[in-house]
Amino acid sequence: MPGQQPDEWQHHAETERTSQLPSFYSPPTDAQHTSRGDADVSHPDFSISSDPALGTSATSPPTPTPKDNRDSINDTSVDRNDGAPSPASSALLPGTPLNPPPPNSLLSPAFTPPATPGTATPSSLLLSEPRGVPVDSSVPSGGCGSKHPRLLEQLPQVECIVRARIPTTTGAEMFLHLYTNNVDNKEHLAIVFGNTIRSKSLDAVREGETEMDRLVRGAYTGRLYPGRTTSLENAGGSATERKEPEEGAQSQPPLVRIHSECYTGETVWSARCDCGEQLDEAARLMSLPSNKAGGIIIYLRQEGRGIGLGEKLKAYNLQDLGSDTVEANLLLRHPADARSYGLATAMLLDLGQKEVRLLTNNPDKIRAVEGPNREVVVKERVAMVPLSWKGKGGFRAPEVEGYLKTKIEKMGHLLDPGALPR
């Protein structure tokens, strides 16, 4: 409709959607009524929405969830997610006069800029660290639930074969590390924030390689510049020499997020899950100037909780036919969650990390990433509370709320459903 603004379109669409919502859904307030990208890029209140106080009232205390058996395979007692297709959702399809295109901010790549570069207002909130809760997976009351995932006895072998500096649209810089391994042929990634975290396998000297080889595969210290010819910043150092950490850098373990690939949520603007928002939020927290300990996003190519994109799309159709996310997997004869985290453990060790602060709501992930002999220890869990639950932007849709509800009820995720805005 000519002249209509995107936010008017969204309001119109939301009004229609609200009439189709399942009982646990409530219409958002205006403050929460923004898309993921809108909130991060153009919301004028972004410095407030940057409140890193994760793990506040919206999170559960670090105690096991009351629902002991979170393995949902035999659990038929929980509510179903009403995934029925809503006529109103089709009004959101882009490209027709009645169907507005997604806002510009949603057309950006998966790593949506947390703020327009140079426009963020520094505030005390921005400078504070995200709050975590201590966890100890070695005791039942340690805040990681009671389930013990089955772990391989031996960690996989991993090797970082190349790294490159990625200046981001936020102004923050990160180093993308690409790994190979001995268990699959996928390119798993480590997105490293901060200049003190280095990969041992990348830095190791390879037989016969030249200095140019080292520069090209990213095994250098300091920064590249036109005409540089040596991989070491200072002559006389060794190839694995590390820069002295900044003062305070090692005072606490780095923030770590183990993130599983989600093409739909990270690339094609799906409102069925909060994966894109979680990736953006993890990157934002890791880039905060106050975060001296650095950060690592281990990006694992286990799309669709390990079942792959094709099967996940079938699961979405089953969800539109009335199944929840767990039931849909089971109907397709997949486990509710087919992922493993041994590669993440091995990558963290390669990056020199034995203790981490983990950004997650998933208790199984905490135990699994620690490895069979607790090679890596999760010292703290930092909750990933949906931004819309905190009134800090984000987005709301019946699909994502069904998705989160199922995670809480069937998969034991440590999120307090009471914190869901009504």
- Judged by CB under 6 A, does residue 345 bind ligand GTP? no
**Which range binds ligand GTP by CB under 6 A, 53-61, 83-91, 240-248, 268-276?**
268-276
**Strand ranges across the sheet with 255-260:** 133-134, 377-382, 355-359, 255-260, 295-300, 188-193, 173-181, 158-167
When the beta carbons of 126 and 400 are compared against ligand GTP, the nearer one is 400
When the beta carbons of 146 and 263 are compared against ligand GTP, the nearer one is 263
The binding track of 286-325 with respect to ligand GTP, each residue x by CB under 6 A or -, is ----------------xxxx-x----x--x---------x
Report which DSSP code applies to 122: P
- Judged by CB under 6 A, does residue 261 bind ligand GTP? yes
Number of shown-chain residues binding ligand GTP (CB under 6 A): 24
| Burial zone of 326 (CB within 10 Å; 0-12 exposed, 13-18 middle, 19+ buried) | buried
When the beta carbons of 365 and 410 are compared against ligand GTP, the nearer one is 365
Active site residue 339: yes
Tokens of 284: 């934002």
Of residues 354-413, which lie at the interface with ligand GTP (CB under 6 A)?
A: 360-362, 365, 384, 403, 413
Distances, alpha carbon 12 to alpha carbons 1, 99, 393, in Å: 12, 10, 18
Name the catalytic one among 339, 357, 367, 396.
Answer: 339
CA-based nearest residue to 133, from 344, 298, 363: 363
When the beta carbons of 81 and 231 are compared against ligand GTP, the nearer one is 81
Name the catalytic one among 274, 324, 337, 364.
Answer: 337
Smallest distance from the beta carbon of 40 to ligand GTP, in angstroms? Answer: 17
**Which range binds ligand GTP by CB under 6 A, 32-40, 102-110, 227-235, 272-280?**
272-280
Smallest distance from the beta carbon of 372 to ligand GTP, in angstroms? Answer: 20
Longest dimension (CA), the chain: 70
Active site residue 357: no
How far apart CA 25 and CA 313 sit, in angstroms, is 24
When the beta carbons of 172 and 384 are compared against ligand GTP, the nearer one is 384
Adjacent-strand bridge partners of 359: 382
- Judged by CB under 6 A, does residue 60 bind ligand GTP? no
**Which range binds ligand GTP by CB under 6 A, 82-90, 134-142, 267-275, 287-295?**
267-275
Of residues 70-89, which lie at the interface with ligand GTP (CB under 6 A)?
A: none
Of residues 201-260, which lie at the interface with ligand GTP (CB under 6 A)?
A: 259-260
Q: Count CB-CB contacts under 10 A for residue 302.
A: 23
Position among 126, 172, 219, 275 found at the interface with ligand GTP (CB under 6 A): 275
Distances, alpha carbon 94 to alpha carbons 8, 40, 267, 398, 420, in Å: 14, 21, 15, 19, 28
DSSP string, 29-54: PGGG---HHIIIII-TTHHHHT---T
Tokens of 205: 């000297």
Adjacent-strand bridge partners of 162: 178
Smallest distance from the beta carbon of 137 to ligand GTP, in angstroms? Answer: 15
CA-based nearest residue to 352, from 201, 218, 239: 201
**Active site residues per annotation:** 337, 339
Residues near ligand GTP, by CB under 6 A: 259-262, 272-273, 275, 278, 302-305, 307, 312, 315, 325, 329, 360-362, 365, 384, 403, 413
